[in-house]
Amino acid sequence: MTAADRGGSTDGPAPRAHAGAVLAGGIIDALAAPPDEDAVLRDFVAFTRLLRNAGVPVTSDRTATYLRALREIDLASEVATYWAGRLTLCGDPDDVARYDHAFFAWFSSDPREQRMGRPAPPKPRAATIAALTPPPGQGQGDENDDTPELKVAASGEEVLRDRDIADLTISEREHIRRMLALLTPTPPRRRARRRRPNSRGEPDPRRTLRATLRHAGEIPGLSRKNRRERPRRVVILLDVSGSMAPYADALLRFAHVLTRRTPQAVETFTLGTRLTRVTRELRQRDPERALRDAGNTIPDWSGGTRLGEVLAAFLDRWGQRGVARRAVVVIFSDGWERGGTELLGEQMERLARLAHAVVWVNPHAGKRGYEPVQGGIAAALPHVDRLLAGHSLATLQELTEVLADA
């Protein structure tokens, strides 16, 4: 309809549309859909409002682009729907975690699933549908292949979980970092020495007697007490020598995850040619800042290894002062020792006497045909409670289970 049709004048320049009206018009155009799809698309608009409330700066033009992208995909495909929003609504790496949380919170609602005309499938976590390198021979060539994309992504994740971290590409390493951040390890627990009043536990004669005196000799009930549980300290000793360089970044991120879980109960040191305490740096919430500050603190990153001498320095300065006493000590190292192994064996014996448990994590232990015959690991092994592999995400998850039961 022109201005003349509406009864107005045709002279002069046409009025300039307001920027907000243009963006709103884009959304309206994107919403121009058959009646049965209109409700679904409006549902997605409501999802963008939820995303904005979650802290993602979703602008009007991004919303319009998002809706146009939805018109081009199969809305019954969860993976396609996920990526349509992630690629158009997220403008910063920090937005991804918020988007993942909002996506599953919104689309796991049964009524909304019914409105989308499909049953509610089980919802995987965010990391299970992130982009991965598909297995060879899958996801290529046949455009009419009806194989659900989710299976490809899930299969890729399972493969990545068992892959050696040293063999990953740059994008796969980035994915592993995000998957590590999703770990929720359970810290080991210990029983406190002091007993506290509790409705359960052993009888408390003193409290029972005092209560009886307050009630003129009548016993009001049997008081009880028990020991509470507290987090057991975890000490991480991370070898940052050159032979551990392919794993050092991922293992330091794993230490950050443990530290963030129980900040006051985790101590982290790096071992190389010297001992460096990085606990303070890893207590920062932002993993990138924590890793950057820790890397700036470590002077011997990718250098040599003097495990025996550095372990002796740790025990003299920190171990006997209480850090390692009754703690679970986790040593990430391949056991390559440049010096003599006698000193390492002696220090491991000292450590075993102080600690509640000693776990040695050797990335090479997960490789086929591995035998702990190297001088360093052979000297330390008699004083180790568990020898684990830490070369993949799956083995690091196994480590969290060992720590929870320690």
CB 77 within 8 A of CB 145: no
What is the chain's length?
A: 406
Please check whether residue 21 lies inside any domain of the structure.
no
Residue 235 confidence (pLDDT) above 80: yes
Does 64 share its domain with 80?
yes
The domain of 210 spans 194-230
Does 85 share its domain with 201?
no
Looking at residue 84, its amino acid is: A
Phi then psi dihedrals of residue 330, to 5 deg: -115, 120
Q: Both tokens of residue 82?
A: 């996920």
pLDDT at 181: 84
Q: Both tokens of residue 103?
A: 């996506």
Q: Which of 103, 90, 168 is nearest to 129 (CA)?
A: 103
Does 352 share its domain with 253?
yes
| pTM for this entry | 0.60
Does 365 share its domain with 261?
yes
pLDDT digits (tens, 9 = 90+) for 375-393: 888 899 999 999 999 899 9
Final residue of a structural domain among 95, 115, 135: 115
Does 286 share its domain with 214?
no
First-to-last CA distance in the chain? 76
pLDDT digits (tens, 9 = 90+) for 69-84: 887 777 777 777 888 8
Please check whether residue 280 lies inside any domain of the structure.
yes
Final residue of a structural domain among 115, 132, 163: 115
Final residue of a structural domain among 115, 130, 152: 115
Q: Which residues on adjacent β-strands are paired with residue 331?
A: 237, 360
Looking at residue 346, its amino acid is: E
Does 272 share its domain with 345?
yes
Domain at 340, CATH number: 3.40.50.410
pLDDT at 56: 82
How are strands ordered across the β-sheet holding 328-332? 275-277, 266-271, 234-239, 328-332, 357-361, 386-388
Tally of domains in the chain:
3
Percentage of the chain exceeding pLDDT 90: 29
**Confidence tier at 4 by pLDDT (50, 70, 90):** very low
Does 244 share its domain with 258?
yes
Please check whether residue 172 lies inside any domain of the structure.
no
